[in-house]
A and B are shown apart, each in its own frame.
Chain A
Amino acid sequence: MSDLSFYVHIPYCLKRCGYCDFNTYTPSELREGGTLETVSGDYIDAVLREIDIAHLQAPDVTVPTIFFGGGTPSLLPPRDLGRVIAAIKEKWNLANAAEVTLEANPDSVDAARLAELRAVGFNRISFGMQSAVPHVLNILDRTHNPENIAKVVLGARGAGFESISLDLIYGTPGESLEDFRASVTAALALGVDHLSAYALIVETGTKLAAQIKRGELTMPNDDLMADMYLLVDQLCEESGLSWYELSNWAKPGHESRHNIAYWRNANWWGLGPGAHSHMNGIRWWNMKHPTAYKNALFADASPLQESEVLTPQQKSDEAIMLSIRMRGGISLSDLSQGQQDKVAEYRQSGHLDSKQWDAGTLRLTPSGRLIADRIVRELVV
């Protein structure tokens, strides 16, 4: 029986962070004078209707992972989130030891809440830590107190979460290499099982982009970004967290199976407004706005916005683009001689792991991971 992972999008935040361009809304953006309760009250009902649609399309699959992202999923009452998990369990077989992840804002949970979340079925939690340095958090518009991180990590352990992850952002305007070292060290000192570190991307239309355009903030140069990446890689490896994807490190056995499903082009269904799905070479995505999404489902219509059927060329481009980011890399047997010749010189320049190459695999070294997109372009042109 084939696998189908679920992503559940929770499109609400109390406040939009300056760098964020995700599909998320504050209650007052959705309805004047709106509260979280009034705007999200019937949201889970809509998601449950989409689950019915998914079941019609794929009745006989096993669900290996569920991932609640957003937005800020931890804002919703645990029992509401639990309704989604329960509905999936009711319709499909959940795999043994299925991974059920919640993305959480450190400010929105405490020990009691974490226990409730564990009780409704979550076994993995990922906290948006971003940084341990107040001036960096300030630029990112993050309101949490850095000391809360230790509290919630301990709380999650106490509640029985099997895998705890932290997210960091690096390359924030004004952040020094030492600032970032302090953040990574603080994260690792908490003994977490998994760490993601993402370079800050300035997305058009965000407050951050406007601040940079006006000259109020300056992005760090690529050399500093590269140094930061090499630093987090080194510190993680020293703490027993190995890289398994370009921006992700984990203790053995704690790799995010849900994210690996994306990178291996497995099948997943994205529930919620703007959520993307992939099944057997077809990608589709839902209407972006929560109201449009809800209206469609409550009118017994599909919330589908658009879909694309991947051509063989697109499939192969995607496979290269995704698998090169992973430790497993690309098997040389999947590359033509021409493709191998094109990137051969990246061995000499130290961007490809020579030993792995001789063993039949294209695997990026740390400096190679930093120019992964460039190497992908060599392979696909």
Chain B
Amino acid sequence: MPAISLAKAPQPAATDPAQIRNFAIIAHIDHGKSTLADRMLGITEVVDPRNMRAQYLDRMDIERERGITIKSQAVRLPWRSGLDGKEYILNMIDTPGHVDFTYEVSRSLAASEGAILLVDCAQGIEAQTLANLYLAMENNLKIIPVLNKIDLPAAQPEKFAKELAKLIGCEPSDCLLVSGKTGAGVADLLDQIVEQIPAPQGDPNAPARALIFDSVYDVYRGVVTYVRVVDGHLSARDQIQMFSTGVRHEMLEVGVISPEPIPSKGLGVGEVGYLITGVKDVRQSRVGDTVTNYNNPTKTPLAGYKDPKPMVFSGLYPLDGADYPLLREALDKLQLNDAALVYEPESSAALGFGFRCGFLGLLHMEIVRERLERESNLSLISTAPNVVYNVKLDDGKSIIVTNPSEFPEGKIMGVEEPIVRATILAPSEFIGAIMELCQQRRGSLLGMDYLSEDRVEIRYTLPLAEIVFDFFDKLKSSTRGYASLDYEAIGDAEGDLVKVDILLQGEAVDAFSAIVHRDKAYAYGLMMTAKLHALIPRQQFEVPIQAAIGSRIIARENIRAIRKDVLAKCYGGDISRKRKLLEKQKEGKKRMKMVGRVEVPQEAFVAALATDADIDKAKAARK
């Protein structure tokens, strides 16, 4: 029996590094990583079959519902190799799969010696997986190519084995075939992890050095810090020190996750586990920092990570202005767990008080918003996402603009915007559609390679601003859902950019201002004025809706004055009903936002700021 009971397995702080294997799993959403992880938990018997549930390691509701992993996880799995019959400890480090969380992936990779490249053999490799694979190869990780879902009728293991072999530089026959669903090949995979992935190297007698690869806020325990010990030893009795801050912390608990937390005496070289020190804020236990022993500190820290930089900004406003303090509280709470989230208060004439928030990308933005709404029971409006602009003024100074309404009014010398290098993988039949979309979005082609006979990798540089709005939705719809996208920032470039204002009765509505390329200003103006024309109810007087660049009007619509707003009939029996309707309308009127003299229902703001995809989603949810 290859499984070993936890009690009999090598214990934390007393495991020879030669018996340890640390590995990450690189996979795209939907490619079956969580199911494979579940299967590993089952086969190594760390989870009792009675307690098993799907996506065991995904902690958040959002993770389970969306089938994505947002935070990384590390699980200690005891295993007796079927090849040499010896006992080993496998530390599986689960990584998020999405482009926005690349920095999370890079952290997991830095804690591992090897990685499983997990690919759905009915779909082939996706762009984000490719990016993460390259990241792993740059980190000199041993890659084990694995094709998953071999039980599917649509599986094409031979085709995709060739594809993977070409990418990694191995033989197609080196690809392992597994099914997370049936369990086929999983025991063999565990044996190959032992066989192929190198054991961790480290000096057990050196001052302790452990890399923080994640830190998570827990309501009951405070911050739980995940570490990988590189040198030395961390003991439950130690006082520890964070290298970057020099701050000393009491160690309240040290342990391993298997997959529930199990306190231990300590952690030795190569081991992966958690520390609890009683701090309340993840920023005090910074990811990438080195943990060392307070009484015997190291002099050289481990190579850390670059701080993730927010790339996409959006204003978040409570639908009900009275919820502003609640939103602040919710953001503060979320930041305890998400060091990548940044925000500062801002106010909008149209939307009231809110926060300008910076995100790693669109998915990060969506998830933050969803968590705020769900975990704090808030209803939010978000403004259209935008990027960071560097506006150069004619006096030689330059200013950073993260909110279109802060775009300077006067003369400017130029505007720089962030540029990304985008990689798109898709069946070759969609090359035309993809190139057309990228051209429309000011892209320039860098190159194209065939991964297999009918799958291509297309590389473009694109302004990030062109991606943040609805690029991904458009890409998906023009490739029947087959294309995948990854991008990385490669710097800034000057663009011919202008600010388009939307005016209601001559008054600019800050929430609708946008910085767009000059060639697209007219289209944006037409789109917004038409949208608002359809959304804003008729008022007491005529309301012009205009789009303008500076003082130049580029589009205009008119909302004609209202002519009828009355119920004709009012008999005795109608009075109670009519008064109740009035009481309801009173509430509705209180929720109206005033833009100058124009009453705009909140729903109009929400709808005007939504993308087509949002609207489709909302429709689907109603069905």
Contacts and interface: CB of A to CB of B under 8 A. Distances in A.
Given A198-B568, A325-B570, A374 B562 contact: yes
The contact size tier of chain A is 35 or more
Contact of B586 (A225, A325, A369, A380): A380
A366 B149 CA distance: 73
Interface string A264-291: 0000101000111010000101000000
A247 B540 CA distance: 21
B586 A377 contact: yes
B565 interface: yes
Given A201-B568, A226-B563, A226-B564, A321 B573 contact: no
Contacts of B575: 262, 276, 278, 283, 318, 322
B568 A247 contact: yes
B589 A377 contact: yes
A381 B589 contact: yes
B578 interface: yes
A235 B597 CA distance: 35
Nearest to A268: B572
Interface stretch (A37-45, A140-148, A345-353): A345-353
B324 to A, nearest CB: 22
Nearest to A284: B576
Given A222-B564, A276-B572, A349 B582 contact: no
B602 to A, nearest CB: 15
Nearest to A314: B579
B227 to A, nearest CB: 58
A345 B585 CA distance: 21
Interface in A335-381: 345-346, 349, 351, 367, 369-374, 376-377, 380-381
Contacts of A285: 573, 576
B576 A370 contact: no
A182 interface: no
Interface residues of B, number: 26
Given A346-B540, A351-B540, A201 B573 contact: no
A377 B582 contact: yes
A262 B567 contact: no
A317 B540 contact: no
B50 interface: no
A321 B576 CA distance: 11
A352 B571 CA distance: 24
A322 B566 contact: no
B541 interface: yes
Nearest to A371: B565
With a 10 A CB-CB cut-off, give which of B566, B569, B570, B573 has the most chain A CB atoms.
B566
A345 B540 contact: yes
B590 interface: yes
B584 to A, nearest CB: 11
B540 A349 contact: yes
A270 B573 contact: yes
B612 interface: no
Contacts of A90: none
A349 B561 CA distance: 10
Contacts of B61: none
Instruction: Please name the 10 residue pairs, one residue from A and one from B, whose CB atoms are nearest each other, closest first.
Output: A226-B563, A276-B573, A222-B564, A199-B568, A374-B565, A262-B572, A371-B565, A372-B566, A198-B568, A226-B564
Given A276-B573, A380-B582, 18 more contacts: A201-B567, A225-B564, A226-B563, A262-B571, A268-B572, A274-B573, A276-B572, A276-B576, A283-B576, A322-B575, A345-B540, A370-B564, A370-B566, A371-B566, A372-B565, A373-B566, A377-B586, A381-B590
23 contacts: A201-B567, A201-B568, A223-B564, A226-B563, A247-B568, A270-B573, A275-B573, A276-B575, A276-B576, A283-B575, A285-B573, A322-B575, A345-B597, A351-B540, A371-B566, A372-B566, A373-B566, A374-B540, A374-B565, A377-B582, A377-B586, A377-B589, A380-B586
